[in-house]
Amino acid sequence: MPVGYFHVVFTLPAEIADVAFQNKALVYDLLFKAASATMLTIAADRKHLGARIGITAVLHTWGSALTHHPHVHMIVPGGGIAGDGERWISSRPAFLLPVRVLGALFRRLFLTRLLALFDAGKLSFFGAIAGLVPRKAFLRHLSPIRKKRCRVGGGVTAPTPHRPGRADFPHPVLQSSVRCAVNNWP
């Protein structure tokens, strides 16, 4: 689409990385679901964008230092379809959604659903994190994360023209380093 795009990154905090490594399918699925639910919910809210947005998301499990660093990259158009389905609602040029709101909802959704997986007995803990098996220990492990401010990272992107030999759709390219702070939980 001939609109601006936003690059948004949702990253798990380091305290969750070992849990994710030992429960890849469940936690990576949860990361995708919590991140997309966060974007769709806040974008649909009339106080923010008030539109149904599209998202293309990719999971990265390793960082540039080749350490386990699960995060989801999203490319999001700068706007969406109004709730009535009749018109396009554009975001501001360098602003899609408030990052503090995104961070707070993402943290709440992710931690609530992670605890639900734990309570359903679906998570495994062994080796260095075997001590998290008792519920009280798991809750104690999550406690500091609940207090951290979640930052969302990203930048403004724009479509590039079609290139021969490539799929016939715009490829998002980073146009500026405007940070829209869910990058990681400091």
Q: What is the pLDDT of residues 77-111, one digit of tens each?
A: 999 999 888 999 989 878 888 888 898 899 999 99
* Strand extents, DSSP E, 55-151: 56-62, 68-77, 79-82, 88-90
Mean of all residue pLDDT scores within the chain: 80
pLDDT value at position 153? Answer: 57
| Structural domain includes residue 181 | no
> What domain range is 18 assigned to?
5-174
Choose between 62 and 92: higher pLDDT.
92
| Structural domain includes residue 11 | yes
| Structural domain includes residue 13 | yes
Q: Cα separation of 133 and 118, whole Å?
A: 9
pLDDT value at position 92? Answer: 85
Q: In the chain, how many domains are there? A: 1
| Structural domain includes residue 179 | no
Per-residue pLDDT reduced to its tens digit, 137-149: 999 999 888 876 6
Asked if the model's pLDDT at residue 150 lies above 80, the reply is no
| Structural domain includes residue 183 | no
Q: Cα separation of 64 and 184, whole Å?
A: 15
| Structural domain includes residue 182 | no
Residues 6+ apart with CB under 8 A from 184: 11, 12, 13, 14, 71, 150, 151, 153
| Structural domain includes residue 185 | no
| Structural domain includes residue 180 | no
> Which residue shows structure tokens 């001590």?
131
